[in-house]
Amino acid sequence: MLAVVTTPTTRLDAGAVGLALARCWSAAGLSVLFVDAAREGSTLAKRVGETSRTGFSPADRGLPSLMVSREEPQLRTLANHCYDLEVSAGSLWALFGPFNADAAALAMQWLSEHVDPMTSIDAVRRVIVATSLQHEPSPLNPLLLAAEVLVIVAPVSDADAARQLRQLCADAGVMVFGRNHRLLVVEGACELGDEELHLQTELHVAGRLPVVDDDRMLRERPHRRDRAVGGELDKVASRVSALIGLYESERTPSPEAAESPSFSKLRRLLSSLRPAAAPPAGHDGDDREPTNGHAGHSDAESTGDDDLAAGARELVSEGPAS
Amino acid sequence: MTLLRDEIWADVRSVVQEFRLDESAASELSVEACEIVANDAIRRREAHALNETGRMLTDEDLAWMRDQVDALLGAGPIERFLRRPEVENLYVFGPDRAALALTGGRQEHICEPVFAGEEGGFNRSWQHRLVGVRVGVR
């Protein structure tokens, strides 16, 4: 399971980033369940509907309809409560969150009470949960801490911002030793290198995203100028995939387990993502935010799958930061 | 302030009545079909209420809604006895007294209202019988 969270200062919506990552994985042939667990009420269904010119209502298919059915969230049940989004390969189910803020709080509570069923679903359909962090523990924390990887999307322009992010994660209760691997996706310009960011935040840098509006992130078929964003997203998706694959193999170290279908699929995913990840030479996008040129986000560009996997293995061997 | 269950029930009742009056559905008109329509309408309206206003039905509300559906489609308060598979006969001795004849010759006495009050539960069940739904014992 993967959890994608944003901070109060992140311009991108967690749902938009989570859904974009879900599209990356499904495009590589995986079956994915995207869960929109917005904290203050979600507008994601409306925005995705506007972008794709389709009407999506969470009351018809979404967390509200699932909650009032009073059924356990099993795969068969979810098939009746998720929108099956159109993807080029694989399968992508979207479980949109409610519009109302009070309902969003109830939905988060409901999700936290169904951690075990969601974990079971993750075994056959990769689950991506998207939400936001605040300076207090969230009712969703049991689910966030059950995720193998927690991806935090945040603007970290300097050392002060990095320390504030570290404090936010501590206040939100997601910096629990040994629970999951925490990755950072830096939004916008940053003057710090990956190592320095790791020292300040105790998070491993998984990638850097330019500042864009959510609508561009939600497009199914990105425009030419969005390729840079798509490329960065693919990198994040592949790094997370590598980490989850290695995490699974670490948990089940037998040779048979190392060649489990899930792990093999992730290896294939890595291979399939890499060629698509690199944007065309000389085309960085016309409105991409400048970055500091540190090696962190660009090292994956110059390395192959094996190097990427080796990097992820290194993260695994280090263990989760305390 | 109107309770959510009242709002939902007002809608559901009209949906069920429309379904029963719809000639195109006459061939499939049965208590079971009406129950499916009613339960589906309850779920859809509750989901919309949750999505837009953050309100949900409590367990008590759901039990109340179940009673309303029984009163509308079945025989009111005695419907819950008729649903029990071991009930063979039901003898009504008064508004608050009845006896269930169970399989194997057993009996069970009931000392509680077996008809709904003046608000119309009994009348609704009687009206339902008039449109041809059979309510009875085995």
Q: Which class for B118: exposed (0-12), middle (13-18), buried (19 or more C-beta within 10 A)?
A: exposed
User: Which amino acid type is present at position A89?
Assistant: A
Residues B47, A65: C-beta atoms closer than 8 Å: yes
Task: For chain B, say whether A100 makes contact (Cβ under 8 Å).
Answer: yes
Measured between beta carbons, which residues in chain B are less than 8 angstroms from residue A69?
Answer: 43
The dihedral sign for the CA sequence A26, A30, A31, A33: negative
The dihedral sign for the CA sequence A139, A142, A146, A152: positive
Task: For chain B, say whether A102 makes contact (Cβ under 8 Å).
Answer: yes
Residues B52, A99: C-beta atoms closer than 8 Å: yes
Residue A291 contacts residue A190 (beta carbons within 8 Å):
yes
Residue A197 contacts residue A298 (beta carbons within 8 Å):
no
Taking only residues 4 to 63 of chain A, the set having a beta carbon closer than 8 angstroms to any beta carbon of chain B reads 57-60, 62
Task: For chain A, say whether B118 makes contact (Cβ under 8 Å).
Answer: no
Mean pLDDT of B19-27: 70
Among the partner residues A69, A102, A106, nearest to B43 by beta-carbon distance: A69
Percent of chain B with pLDDT over 90: 40
- Residue A252, both tokens: 């089940």
- List, for chain A, all residue ranges whose pLDDT scores fall below the cut of 50: 257-261, 263, 274-305, 318-322
Mean pLDDT of B44-72: 93
Q: Rounded to whole angstroms, how far apart are CA atoms A26 and A21?
A: 9
Classify strands A91-95 and A83-85 as parallel, antiparallel or unpaired: antiparallel
Residues A68, B51: C-beta atoms closer than 8 Å: no
Mean residue pLDDT of chain B comes to 80
Task: For chain A, say whether B54 makes contact (Cβ under 8 Å).
Answer: yes
Among the partner residues B48, B55, B56, nearest to A59 by beta-carbon distance: B48
Rg (CA), chain A: 18
Q: What was the pLDDT predicted at A150? A: 94
Residues A59, B52: C-beta atoms closer than 8 Å: yes
Residue A183 contacts residue A212 (beta carbons within 8 Å):
no
Q: Is the pTM of this model over 0.90?
A: no
Measured between beta carbons, which residues in chain A are less than 8 angstroms from residue B5?
Answer: none
Q: Rounded to whole angstroms, how far apart are CA atoms A239 and A97?
A: 27
Residues B54, A102: C-beta atoms closer than 8 Å: yes
The residues near A145 (Cβ < 8 Å, ≥ 6 apart) are A174, A176, A179, A180
Interface A:B, Cβ pairs < 8 A:
51
Residue A73 contacts residue A121 (beta carbons within 8 Å):
yes
- To 10 degrees, the CA torsion angle through A52, A58, A60, A66? 130
Least Cα distance to A301 among A224, A208, A217, A204 occurs for: A208
Task: For chain A, say whether B48 makes contact (Cβ under 8 Å).
Answer: yes
Q: What letters, b where the CB count within 10 A reaches 16 and e where it falls short, cover A211-236? A: ebebebbbbeebeeebbbbbbbbbbb
Among the partner residues B44, B50, B52, nearest to A67 by beta-carbon distance: B50
More confident residue, B51 or A250: B51
For residue A106, the chain B residue with the least C-alpha distance is B54
- Residue A241, both tokens: 């995939």
Among the partner residues A69, A98, A105, nearest to B51 by beta-carbon distance: A98
The residues near B106 (Cβ < 8 Å, ≥ 6 apart) are none
Measured between beta carbons, which residues in chain A are less than 8 angstroms from residue B46?
Answer: 68
For residue A101, the chain B residue with the least C-alpha distance is B54
Question: What is the nearest CA distance from B41 to chain A, expressed in angstroms?
Answer: 12
Q: What was the pLDDT predicted at B115? A: 75
For residue A98, the chain B residue with the least C-alpha distance is B51
Q: What was the pLDDT predicted at A259? A: 46
